[in-house]
Structure 1
Amino acid sequence: MKTTKILTLFFSLFIAMEFSVIDAFAQFYPEKIFAPDFYTYKGDEYRSASGKPGPKYWQNQADYRIQASFDTLNYNLEGIVEIRYQNNSPDKLDQLWLQLDQNNTLASTRGNRIQAPIAAVDARKGYLISSVKIERNGEWVDASYLIEDTRMQIRLAAHPLKSGEQLKLSIKYAYTLQKQGGGGRSGYLDTKNGKIFEFSYWYPRLCVYDDYYGWNTLPFMGSGEMYLDYGNIDFSITAPAGALVVATGDLINKEEVLTEKTLARLAKAQESDATVMIRSASELKEGLTKNKRGTVTWHFNMKNTRDVAWALSSAFIWDAARINLPDGKTALAQSVYPIESTTDSIAWPRSTEMIKASVEHYSKKWFAFPYPVATSVAGPVGGMEFPGMAFNGYQAKPYIMYLLASHEIGHTWFPMIVGSNERRYPFMDEGFNTFLNILAQEEFNDGEFAPKRDGEYAPGGGHPADEIVKVIAESGEANTLMTPPDAMDRKYVHPLAYFKSAFGLVLLRDVILGPERFDYAFRQYIHNWAYKHPQPADFFRSIENGAGEDLSWFWRAWYYHNWQLDQAIKGVSYVNGEPKNGVIITVENKQQMAMPILARIKESNGTVHNFTVPVEIWQRGADATFNVSTQSKIISVELDPEHKIPDIDRSNNSWK
């Protein structure tokens, strides 16, 4: 027997055993799921009870100016970052905290010591900080600081930063780019025409100080991603002449850097709905920078952003097209990829088409894309997001290419526009974005790649509702949507943060609220929290207020717990024994999760009844009894005939 078959058999037996144990001991307690007082705090002047930012909501701002250079021979990046930090909080800050995520490559950091408490030291890994200064009275003075793990603390006790004031920091730093660095979110790749270098988490960044936790200093351990303040980032990259640099934001010195032929093609692409080739495979030996020798400095600027990233290579083929946005505005979709990504089985020549369609869909349905360019980069990183930019695997075939293009650029909305805390609540970005992808995938090219399937948990076109029960059963109560990603068993991060979170929104939209009410409330949430920092309760309150429903039962069961659902037909009888008097149906709830009852009744006269019993019926107990008007004998009764809800045992859903 092959290993995969053995594992499949073991998993099937495990799930069967798990369900049998659950079924043997499970019982429905209405008082648990419908308990009052779900919210632990009332609305205040910072965060309204309606789910909106309050009248005195505040957040701090971090503006960056970065000058960096990269040596492609020894993989060394050197930079100076100047940060202007504005304290908009009502508090006096006697310290600042910064993220040093490149230190994640050090064996001494806690994320690595969990796996290997004793490991060899490699001096070429992590940040080398050579200078940290604060501007005081117009002069730069040495700062008092401490580096611990992946964080830096700057101590301001003698000169605290008062409410409404700002300060400037200057940090001189360097690090060696690892082949798989930054928690696997940066690195380099060899191709026949040169290396591709991808840079993320590449400069010291301020931690968020907010009204919920104060300083958010969870260390970077690999699974948790970003939580950053917004600001304007101006950055310059000095690299060898002839290579192409693409980055988030606007290339503001393109006339100085690019050849006239390249500029002309870019201008054509900005007016074209069809993809325009800017640098073809046959032109890879031609330089696209005006300067043919030495180095070239690329100058980018991005406004109102959490972060910036970039990529560099002499091997990039480059194409682009216009993105059509609401209100007549436009942006540019562009893709860069090596010649290895152009074989018949690989879909990178369609990347720009996919990026363009995705951005247009999300902009029309939810919130307009705010940046000048959306970029997809083929390289060593299999899939990673930044504001308006994605690093995607260079060997992606058509279906995976669309999944990557749609998902990674979709992160521009979550968490780049709606700035949730990925270190604590990945369901608010990964899951919400995956939900956006489901609708976009249905629309793209008349459903060419629809329906969306989320990896191993929806294989072979099965019903997602039937697949999610496996996720819930296996992950258990120790791993819920509210569990921080670094506290989860890593194998559950994707099934929960992506799949379960997204399917929760599908349940809200398709079963509980309906598309019209859900879309309105969800769109309100996006607009109210654009460029701000929502917490989970802000999302819960937003949907409740926008849709006009108390959904605390759903938040409690789906987000705070991994409760299961099992609705079973318990009894079917005619009123006074006569079919013409109607039928009495009793459904039992055998698990702790509750959902509306979706039912279909077929009569012998050909009449079919499809109806929904509201979830409130379960407030009365584990048995739900209701009447249905009928005229003839009942042929069958079936619960959830379209498999919309995650029922763990469908053998008790039918009566004939």
Structure 2
Amino acid sequence: MKYFTCSLLVSLLLTTVSFNLFAQEVKPNNQPLFDNFSYRQGNVYRTASGKPGPEYWQNSADYNLEATLDDKTHTVSGNVTIHYTNNSPETLDFIWLYLEQNRFTENSRGTLTTPVQGNRYSGDVKGGFELKNVSAKTKTGTSSKHIITDTRMQLWLDKPLEAKGGKVEIKMDFKFKVPVEGMDRMGRLEVKDGTIYAIAQWYPRVAVFDDVVGWNTDPYLGAGEFYCEYGNYDVKITAPANQTVVCSGVLQNPKEVLTKEQQTRWAQAEKSNKTVYIIKPEEVGKPVASVKSDGMLTWHFKMENTRDVAWAASKAFIWDAARMNLGDGKTGLAQSVYPKESDGNNAWSRSTEFTKASVEFYSKTFFPYPYHNAINVAASVGGMEYPGVSFCHYQSKGEDLWGVTDHEFGHNWFPMIVGSNERRYPWMDEGFNTFINHYSTVAFNNGEFPTTTDSPKNLVRYLMYENRESIDTYPDVANAMNLAYTAYYKPAVGLYLLREYILGGERFDNAFKSYIHTWAYKHPQPNDFFNHMENVAGEDLSWFWKGWFYGNGNIDLGISEVKSYSGNYLITVENDGQIPMPVQLQVIYDDNSKEEISLPVEIWQRGNSWTHLLKTTKQVQRVVLDPNKMLPDVNVLNDTWNKL
């Protein structure tokens, strides 16, 4: 025993001396690039495999809304009743609600954080909600105590709302003036035949209470969009009789608000793959377009399991529609409303065709479209999405109109079906949607319009920009010049690389579709997406999420040397960037034959240089890295080796 102890001590001493002698020669490896970068472990609410856990929960809110449009004062007034259910495991002392119309005031946080020179999210400042008769009724009593802070309201309850099923009924009356400039999300537009009202963020609605941050009370500043609970909506909109009203959801009383001719045309459109007029251009502004010439009409709509509703009204609308074929025998109705200024064969007369094609593609490819209607509204808004309704610019034409229509209706999948938090993680809706838009555009009309997502190298100029920001930058923080890249293009290119370069179509599609189906009508977080993609695809992608989505580094792979070796060749590649990637090489021999070589990303775990043994009896004339030009490599000068 003493001999063993003595020998062990001597060995440890010699080992320690040896480590000390060679310590200065040890170089760090690249393992930190491959390690997890955030807390991605599972729990009872969200599993490590990227699925809702056995105790996952989310609260719900059903809405009864009644609103009246006054086209003389340009105001909307009404009332809301919210039936809110607390499915969480904790009691709630209060409920937080969003009052997003309060963004349109002089002293709102959004106004005060808008640059003096203005930007896309500039808005009117003479608006805001007028609220009355606020109440919250539970089974124990009623409370009207509330605090309004900017675009949020904290509504206190008489007693804490019980966990796992407690219910409260919230009521209030509201009124606001419709802004002309509604931050490119809503507003009103004057055209020859009247005013077009595009109405959104128009009623008080509950904020999301979740297992990640509790109450999500981020203020509505501008660039950050929305995070909403799901529920059922019953909506009644009263407007002057000469107004045509369209809304998310299904019209409940067509016989009361449509003429007999319009009802006939509607029935024809429900069966037609070609566009059918409901209101023809020559009928706009004439008595034939309305059930009655004066007074008011109430339009009644219902929508189930949705996170929001939006609507539009105008006496200037041309209205057309066509059947959508959604698979499994299910059909819906694509519709467009637009003024005469937007009419034309290269303009909005193709809007319903575009809407139909877009929704049908996504429904067939990713997840069945859950709503009956898909309505495209020509407005002053450049492009904004709501469940079943999109606002697109009335002057858009051709390729631009296809692009904005396809993008906005693509949002019905992200974030309307997959309910991510847009206010914090715009890449989970804008980026994902831009990605799927690429494939929809390729498919539409045999590629009638071009797409650039399949050219990642187009992103290099931004990636070299010294003031670039990373994808994880919050939208209200991102520089206005960067937002299009951080929220849209860079995440879309990332998914394209993941599908076309890293995983391949089959593995990616299995994982991506599974993510959509798993998180439909739920609230995924970034880690849920990362975990789910990895588990279904069977690949540790921490290096990719960390480098591309949560980093600001770049890809710079190159060929440093090609030399003969024992009748074969040694090809040495190097990683001079901050993001490791698998390596694709093409070898061209002296007889013009070619060979493809694929090296896994793990070659970079030990360091930034790797030598590959190419066994061949031929003479190598040329070696090309990334021969298909898939990578947004910031330095292409070292991507090719030629024999001297």
In structure 2, how many angstroms separate the alpha carbons of the residues matched to 1:34 and 1:138?
Answer: 54
* Alpha-carbon RMSD: 1.9
Alignment match of 1:471 (pick from 462, 471, 477): 462
Aligned to 2:581: 595
The Cα shift of 1:193 comes to: 1.1
Pair 1:31-2:31 in alignment: yes
Pair 1:73-2:59 in alignment: no
Matches within 5 A, 1:216-295: 216-284=216-284, 285-295=286-296
3-state secondary structure, aligned to 2:448: coil
In structure 2, how many angstroms separate the alpha carbons of the residues matched to 1:122 and 1:647?
Answer: 43
In structure 2, how many angstroms separate the alpha carbons of the residues matched to 1:343 and 1:494?
Answer: 30
The Cα shift of 1:299 comes to: 0.5
In structure 2, how many angstroms separate the alpha carbons of the residues matched to 1:136 and 1:238?
Answer: 30
| TM-score, length basis structure 2 | 0.92
Aligned to 2:133: 131
Which letter maps to 1:648?
V
The Cα shift of 1:138 comes to: 9.0
Contact kept, 8 Å, 2:104 with 2:125, in 1: the verdict is no
Q: Which stretch shifts more, 521-530 or 324-333? A: 324-333
Seen in structure 2, the aligned counterparts of structure 1 residues 123 and 506 have a Cα distance that, compared at 3 Å, is closer
In structure 1, how many angstroms separate the alpha carbons of the residues matched to 2:603 and 2:143?
Answer: 66
In structure 2, how many angstroms separate the alpha carbons of the residues matched to 1:444 and 1:484?
Answer: 33
3-state secondary structure, aligned to 2:92: coil
Pair 1:543-2:544 in alignment: no
The Cα shift of 1:184 comes to: 2.5
Aligned to 1:323: 324
Aligned to 1:171: 172
Contact kept, 8 Å, 2:111 with 2:125, in 1: the verdict is no
The Cα shift of 1:98 comes to: 0.5
Which letter maps to 1:485?
P
Alignment match of 2:558 (pick from 568, 581, 590): 568
3-state secondary structure, aligned to 2:289: coil
Matches within 5 A, 1:46-85: 46-85=45-84
Aligned to 1:151: 152
In structure 2, how many angstroms separate the alpha carbons of the residues matched to 1:319 and 1:123?
Answer: 35
The Cα shift of 1:473 comes to: 3.1
Contact kept, 8 Å, 1:28 with 1:592, in 2: the verdict is no
Seen in structure 2, the aligned counterparts of structure 1 residues 142 and 274 have a Cα distance that, compared at 3 Å, is same
Aligned to 2:4: none
Contact kept, 8 Å, 2:324 with 2:332, in 1: the verdict is yes
In structure 1, how many angstroms separate the alpha carbons of the residues matched to 2:475 and 2:537?
Answer: 29
3-state secondary structure, aligned to 1:56: coil
Q: Which stretch shifts more, 411-420 or 192-201? A: 192-201
Seen in structure 2, the aligned counterparts of structure 1 residues 550 and 305 have a Cα distance that, compared at 3 Å, is same
Seen in structure 2, the aligned counterparts of structure 1 residues 49 and 607 have a Cα distance that, compared at 3 Å, is same
Which letter maps to 1:620?
R
Contact kept, 8 Å, 1:473 with 1:562, in 2: the verdict is no
Aligned to 2:11: none
In structure 1, how many angstroms separate the alpha carbons of the residues matched to 2:277 and 2:615?
Answer: 64
The Cα shift of 1:436 comes to: 0.7
Which letter maps to 1:501?
P
Pair 1:102-2:101 in alignment: yes
In structure 2, how many angstroms separate the alpha carbons of the residues matched to 1:291 and 1:222?
Answer: 40
3-state secondary structure, aligned to 1:175: strand
Pair 1:356-2:356 in alignment: yes
Pair 1:498-2:488 in alignment: yes
In structure 2, how many angstroms separate the alpha carbons of the residues matched to 1:147 and 1:482?
Answer: 30
Which letter maps to 2:365?
K
Seen in structure 2, the aligned counterparts of structure 1 residues 155 and 475 have a Cα distance that, compared at 3 Å, is farther
Query: Can you give the 5+ residue segments of structure 1 that lack an aligned partner in the other structure?
Result: 1-26, 455-462
Contact kept, 8 Å, 2:473 with 2:486, in 1: the verdict is no
Q: In percent, how many aligned pairs have the same letter?
A: 46
In structure 1, how many angstroms separate the alpha carbons of the residues matched to 2:362 and 2:426?
Answer: 20
3-state secondary structure, aligned to 2:273: coil
Aligned to 1:529: 519
Alignment match of 1:554 (pick from 535, 544, 558): 544
The Cα shift of 1:135 comes to: 2.3
Seen in structure 2, the aligned counterparts of structure 1 residues 607 and 527 have a Cα distance that, compared at 3 Å, is same
The Cα shift of 1:632 comes to: 2.0
Aligned to 2:212: 212
Q: Which stretch shifts more, 289-298 or 397-406? A: 289-298
In structure 2, how many angstroms separate the alpha carbons of the residues matched to 1:473 and 1:481?
Answer: 15
Which letter maps to 2:435?
F
Query: Can you give the 5+ residue segments of structure 2 that lack an aligned partner in the other structure?
Result: 1-26
| TM-score, length basis structure 1 | 0.90
Contact kept, 8 Å, 2:105 with 2:128, in 1: the verdict is yes
In structure 2, how many angstroms separate the alpha carbons of the residues matched to 1:286 and 1:33?
Answer: 69
Which letter maps to 2:211?
D
Pair 1:299-2:300 in alignment: yes
In structure 2, how many angstroms separate the alpha carbons of the residues matched to 1:625 and 1:135?
Answer: 71
In structure 1, how many angstroms separate the alpha carbons of the residues matched to 2:125 and 2:269?
Answer: 45
The Cα shift of 1:161 comes to: 4.3
In structure 1, how many angstroms separate the alpha carbons of the residues matched to 2:395 and 2:300?
Answer: 30
The Cα shift of 1:69 comes to: 0.2
Aligned to 2:596: 610
Contact kept, 8 Å, 2:106 with 2:126, in 1: the verdict is no
Matches within 5 A, 1:351-500: 351-450=351-450, 452-453=451-452, 464-474=455-465, 479-500=469-490
Q: Indicate the structure (1 or 2) with the bigger Cα radius of gyration.
A: 2
Contact kept, 8 Å, 2:87 with 2:163, in 1: the verdict is no
